[in-house]
Amino acid sequence: MPKLNVYNQLGEQVSEVALNDAIFGITPNQQVIYDVVNAQLAAMRQGTSKTKTRAEVSGGGKKPWRQKGTGRARQGSIRSPQWKGGGIVFGPTPRSYAVKVNQKVKQLALRSALSYHVLENQLTVVDSLSLEQPKTKLFVEVLNNLKLEGKTLVLVGEADRNLMLAASNLPTTLLKEVSQASVYEILKFKNVVLTSDAVKYYEEVLG
């Protein structure tokens, strides 16, 4: 059962927490992680690209010249695909790129992502996070107190307005409510910070 120190916003250790082995102590499943991340990236695609077929482009109602006797190839419409301004053959049409993934597979991928950060010593637990004012400077001080460098994902139980505004200006930091964090986001960031509420959430949902 992995044990981690719990820090406050000043970077001082206040206690220890014993993490659930079934959530934070498993061997990461690479294939499941790949499947879920692939599905989540596919779901981000809009799928709105569209080209017009010969039935949708304007014009082309009249046969350009008679069938025989001109010496030229027979043509039925100036909007055939071989003509300039003609329709597109087998072009993209609006579609969904969504990939179905079973709920148990998603949960296993989430456990694997969290366990990976524990194995790499990249998971930090804080007792709580709050700011008196929505200032980025104050949020940066918290990150510095926790000695976090590089891309950082901060997951909280409920994000108040001050926290969201203070973290929104940092290009290498993302603050989200733990219920909305994806496996892709957890793996995308080098450091993951969980509040005590976020740890409890994962233990309730994934335990």
pLDDT tens track for 109-138: 999 999 999 999 999 999 989 898 999 999
pLDDT at 38 > cutoff 90 = yes
Q: Are strands 3-7 and 13-18 parallel, antiparallel or unpaired?
A: antiparallel
pLDDT value of position 156: 93
Joined together, the tokens standing for residue 75 give: 């043509």
Joined together, the tokens standing for residue 125 give: 């637990």
The rounded Cα 60 to chain-centroid distance in angstroms is: 45
CATH number for the domain running over 3-38+101-206? 3.40.1370.10
Is residue 178 within 8 Å of 198, Cβ to Cβ? yes
Q: DSSP labels for the chain?
A: --EEEEE-TTS-EEEEEE--HHHHSSPP-HHHHHHHHHHHHHHT---------TTTSS---S-SS-SSSSSSPP-S-TTSTTSTT-PPSS------------HHHHHHHHHHHHHHHHHTT-EEEES----SS--HHHHHHHHHHTT--SSEEEEESS--HHHHHHHTT-TTEEEEEGGG--HHHHHHSSEEEEEHHHHHHHHHHH-
Is residue 185 within 8 Å of 153, Cβ to Cβ? yes
Q: Of residues 111 and 207, which shows the higher confidence score?
A: 111
Distance CA 138, CA 118 (A): 27
Which tens digits make up the pLDDT trace of 176-203?
A: 999 999 999 999 999 999 999 999 999 9
Give the residue among 98, 92, 99, 100 at the shortest CA–CA distance from 48. Answer: 92
Q: What are the residue ranges spanned by the domains of the chain?
A: 3-38+101-206
What would the mean pLDDT of 10-21 be, rounded to a whole number? 89
pLDDT at 60 > cutoff 90 = no
pLDDT at 165 > cutoff 80 = yes
pLDDT value of position 69: 95
pLDDT value of position 142: 92
